[in-house]
Amino acid sequence: MSLCKKKRQDDFQKVKLKVGKTKPKADNATNINFRTKGINLTEQLKKDANAPTTHRKLNIKDLLSQLHHYSGTVKQGALVGLRELLTLHPSELDQHLSSLLSEAAAVFTDKDPNVRMSATRLLRFIAQSVPAERTSPFFPLLSAHLSCAMTHIETGIQEDALKVLDVLLDHYPALLAARPALLLNNFLELISHRSTGGGARKGQEGKGRSWALSVNPNRNVTGQQWRLTVLLRLGRFLQAVVEERRAEEGVACVSGDMFSVLNGQGGANAPLELNWEELTYRKGGFQVFEHSGAMPTPHSTFKLRPETEPGAGVSEGLGTGEAVRGFASTLVPLLLDVWVEASASDRSKTDSAHLLTPDAMSLMYQVLSILQLLRKLAPQREYQDTLDVWFRSEYLGDFKQHFMKNFPYGNLDTPKQRRKTDPKRSKQSTTIPGQTVEPLALNVLLCQVMVSMVTLSQREGQAQEPDAEWLMPLRGFVQETLSSGAKLSQRHLHTLLETVWRMVITQRSRAVTEDLLQAVYVQYQQMNLNLQTRTLLLSFYSRLYLQEHNHTHIARSRVLSRWLAALPLQLSQLGHRNPALSDRLLLSIQAAASRGNKALLNSLHTHACRLYDPQEGSVVLLPAESQQRLVQLLYFLPVMSQGLLANLSRCCTAGRVSAGLAASLIRIIHLRSSLSGWSVGSQDMTLRDVDYISFLFSTLTGFSSDELATLQEAGDESVLPPSPLSPLSLYPTPLEQFTHHWDVVEEVCHCLETLGSRSQCFDVLQNGICKNLTGLAVVPDSMAAGLLRAVARLLDLSFLPSEPLLRFLSRCCLSLLSLLLTLQQDTAVWGACVAVLSSIPRLLRLVLQSLRVKDLCEEELPQLAQILSLLLQHTALRNHMLANATLLQHIIQDLTRYCRGESKEQWMTDLLYCYSVTMATHRGNLGLRDIY
């Protein structure tokens, strides 16, 4: 007990604390001499073998779950990690697209700006690698989050929402434009607020002024800049909507593309283009009538009722004209207010009103381009016109007051330039890209917007008077810009041309049209334009020309006819340098020619010989499609001169146009002649029959007289020498040329056959051959074969061919036969020989008579025997051979005599066999005839 007591006292010993001494440490005091460091487990230790991971060894599920973390940094890290994961393993994207998009979209409205930025980046990355059709199922969710962010109460989130919108506009414009209604309201909310009371400035229709511009002082940018950014997005969005609609309706309906499609026919369902030859050898059939033809295609102009239900109102979107008008009636006053405020603040900085700061200028540019887009939003062409009328009635006064008063605008930076019509200088002034807008672009756009206000409705003279006052400066500007001779960029030119187009169509005054077209012509005449610009100008004129039928002031325009008349010359000068441009030119020429335009046809006539020159004319230099157009143009030529026909004949035979095209050329000329039975109409008798027949004849021979003359003197290198078996020396043409010529000959024969009286036709042919060809010693083999073919096809049985012709033909025939023996091919030529021999018995006799065995040398005997046995074998010739039996017998006797006892040779036995068979059947036939 005492011990215990003692111990207890030890335990509770009093510690005396004294002033000035350090306090002794308590026994249980913690030593705090260590330092701590946090360990962040940003990556997992164990590697997940199943799923791919980031370098932090987090798989996609971890990262997605981290997005729900309360901490901003974790969320941002997860977003960065996701991006890394997806770059390394793109396959993950396909599997988890739905959860990825929904989670990423959920953080659009995050409070932390860094998270939002990362989310935008992630979205951009996903958008780059996923096509639109695969995003489309998730798009409602995305757009819901987007509009949530756009209408968020925090200005930062609103601003970042625009960046998200940028991404979507870049990659999925069509999806975004598919349901425009909600987003449009969001845009309005961004720059304005709906006023509750009817405190309107003017009592326009009640709801017209229910929106008013709003200013939020909390933003870190000025109100004007904010509006500019919003308007920029709105402009891009509307552009997307317009393009979407264009894709739906086909290009033709939308005036934006007015010059790019010349024929104005670009339906959505492409027509089937078939070729007869393909069709014949094709295995599967094709289907023209879908759903058995009972339903019209969506492009039908017959409509029982509008497809969208009326009464759904503005919220339905921009599908109907009324909806567009409703939206416009809200937006346009806001736009005007925006501009009025901006110009007022701008006015304070400068004294002259037509000079603008770059900011104000780009703001105005945006305002105008949105106005322009609003016009294009109208779903159909007729709505567009009513919309224009409506715009005019509502806002013309405002526009005139706010926009036109100080037109044209200039840049404040270089105040000495009053008018920025010189694009070189204005280009220098554009230092900051993107945000700044050239004054030229602004002025041009303003022209376009204002000109669209001029409606077609007022055709009477007095109604134009009020317009003239504000149209005057516009027209002056356009004319000056175009005719200044400076080069304009593609886009500006396009806009200017549209403006000119509109003015020309609406103004209906000849003087104005002439001035404007002259200005455009100055542009057209510039050297060194690039292809696109040239094409643009070309299609402007050609479209204008196609419009002439209901605008007499266009039809009578002298500039237009001068342009047309210059086209053939341009085409011939262009040669083969630019086939695309030539094709455009040809299209215009063809259109004008088919309309029988006098100026063009005369010019075409003067330049025809150059165009159809067989050496360097366009018809041989251009690609096949243009060649075809040129050939078709022949139909419309007013007069076919001899020189032109000579050129054309050379074109056909020279082989630089395909055989098919040559055939269609011959056919078109055939149609032009009065002998064909097809009346060309007013231009009858412009192709004389003499010229036509000589064209056919020279095409038939295939070689010009000069070429034949040089062949006669060519010497022995190129031609086969004459021999007793081939009395003419043949010039072997290349196989390609031979087949080409053969095809042409077939076509010529067909034309000659249909000319009318056969015997007269043959008489003409015979005269031609006798006069021009019988004297030749060297004959091209293609020509010889062609002549034989033509004679065989054209010969009338009642007609007796003349002796010189037959002698010439027999020489041709024999030469060809012996040539065929050496070649061992070409059944067509063999067929032609047989046909001509069987149709003219006299010819066969001549051939046989010319076979003089005693003149032949040893090597030629087998050839002769082969020819004879071939002729004997042919059934069509058998009877004619029998008619010449005595002659044949002589030849064979001679042969056996001359071959000096070597009668056991194969060719001799073959011949004798054939001969005996032929004779035997003949006797058999005779015998049979005797019996009956």
Partner 1 sequence: MSAPMEIVLSADSAGQLWNCAVLELHSGTNLLAYRGGNTSSRSLTVLNGEYILGAQLGKNFINVWEIQRKDQLQQKIVCPGIVTCLTASPNGLYLVAGIADAIYLWEVSSGNLLAILSRHYQDLTCLRFSDDSSHFISGGKDNLALVWSLASVVQLDPSHTPEPRHVLSRHSLPITDIHCGLMGPQARVATASLDQTVKLWELSSGEMLLSVLFDVGIMSVTLDPCEYYLFCGGSDGGIFQVSLCSQSLSRDKTFQSDNEGNQVFKGHRNLVTCLSVSMDGTLLLSGSHDETIRLWDIQSKQSVRSINHKGPVTNALIIPAPANMFLPDSRPGIPLPRFSRHLNPSEQGEGVETGGVCLRLAPHTQSVFGDGENTKVRVSELEEEVRTLKKVNKDLYDFSTQLLTKPS
**Contact set with partner 1 (CB under 8 A):** 263, 265, 267, 269, 271-277, 279-280, 282-289, 291-297, 299-302, 304, 549-550, 590, 594-596, 629, 632, 635, 660, 663-664, 667-668, 671, 677-678, 680-682, 750, 753-754
| Minimum CB distance to partner 1, residue 262 (Å) | 10
Nearer to partner 1, 665 or 805 (CB): 665
| Minimum CB distance to partner 1, residue 267 (Å) | 5
| Minimum CB distance to partner 1, residue 543 (Å) | 13
d(CA 80, CA 118): 7
| Minimum CB distance to partner 1, residue 277 (Å) | 7
Nearer to partner 1, 24 or 296 (CB): 296
Nearer to partner 1, 215 or 463 (CB): 463
d(CA 643, CA 649): 10
List phi, psi (to 5°) of 579. -60, -35
Nearer to partner 1, 586 or 881 (CB): 586
Nearer to partner 1, 130 or 567 (CB): 567
| Minimum CB distance to partner 1, residue 756 (Å) | 10
Structure tokens belonging to residue 194: 């709906």
Give burial (CB, 10 Å; 0-12/13-18/19+) of 416.
exposed
Nearer to partner 1, 301 or 822 (CB): 301
Structure tokens belonging to residue 688: 């004389």
d(CA 187, CA 165): 11
| Minimum CB distance to partner 1, residue 539 (Å) | 15
Q: How many CA atoms lie less than 13 Å away from 619 in the CB half-sphere?
A: 30
Nearer to partner 1, 322 or 548 (CB): 548
Of residues 705, 594, 696, the one with CA closest to residue 652? 696
Nearer to partner 1, 678 or 913 (CB): 678
Nearer to partner 1, 70 or 302 (CB): 302
d(CA 232, CA 255): 23
Nearer to partner 1, 24 or 264 (CB): 264
Q: Which amino acid is at 661?
A: L
**Contact by Cβ (8 Å): 648, 695:** yes
Nearer to partner 1, 551 or 890 (CB): 551
| Minimum CB distance to partner 1, residue 600 (Å) | 12
DSSP annotation of 138: G
| Minimum CB distance to partner 1, residue 274 (Å) | 5
d(CA 830, CA 421): 76
Nearer to partner 1, 369 or 542 (CB): 542
d(CA 596, CA 545): 13
| Minimum CB distance to partner 1, residue 232 (Å) | 38
Give burial (CB, 10 Å; 0-12/13-18/19+) of 148.
middle
**Contact by Cβ (8 Å): 355, 411:** yes
Nearer to partner 1, 434 or 681 (CB): 681
| Minimum CB distance to partner 1, residue 647 (Å) | 21
Helix spans in 575-704 (H): 579-594, 598-611, 618-621, 624-633, 642-654, 659-672, 689-701
d(CA 364, CA 343): 9
Nearer to partner 1, 3 or 304 (CB): 304
| Minimum CB distance to partner 1, residue 285 (Å) | 3
d(CA 416, CA 814): 92
| Minimum CB distance to partner 1, residue 584 (Å) | 15
What are the DSSP calls for 510-548, one per residue?
HHHHHHHHHHHHHHHT-SS--HHHHHHHHHHHHHHHHTG
| Minimum CB distance to partner 1, residue 721 (Å) | 40
| Minimum CB distance to partner 1, residue 838 (Å) | 20
| Minimum CB distance to partner 1, residue 630 (Å) | 11
| Minimum CB distance to partner 1, residue 372 (Å) | 28
Task: Report the alpha-carbon angle 763-764-769, nearest 5.
Answer: 95
**Contact by Cβ (8 Å): 157, 116:** yes
Q: How far is CA 81 from CA 61, 68, 73, 121, 135, in A?
A: 11, 14, 12, 12, 22
Q: How many CA atoms lie less than 13 Å away from 60 in the CB half-sphere?
A: 24
d(CA 825, CA 436): 76
Q: Which secondary-structure segment (H or E) carries 730?
A: strand 729-731
d(CA 745, CA 785): 9
Q: Which amino acid is at 701?
A: T
| Minimum CB distance to partner 1, residue 677 (Å) | 5
Whose structure tokens read 């199922």? 137
Cα of first residue to Cα of last residue in the chain, in angstroms, is 171
Pair type for strands 355-356 and 211-213: unpaired
Nearer to partner 1, 260 or 263 (CB): 263
Nearer to partner 1, 263 or 308 (CB): 263
Give burial (CB, 10 Å; 0-12/13-18/19+) of 471.
buried
Structure tokens belonging to residue 54: 């980031």
Q: Which secondary-structure segment (H or E) carries 910?
A: helix 906-931
| Minimum CB distance to partner 1, residue 244 (Å) | 21
Instruction: Please list the residues that pair with 626 across neighbouring strands.
Output: none
Q: What is the dihedral of CA 787, 789, 791, 794, to 10 degrees?
A: -130
d(CA 637, CA 683): 9
Nearer to partner 1, 34 or 289 (CB): 289
d(CA 884, CA 490): 81
Nearer to partner 1, 65 or 308 (CB): 308
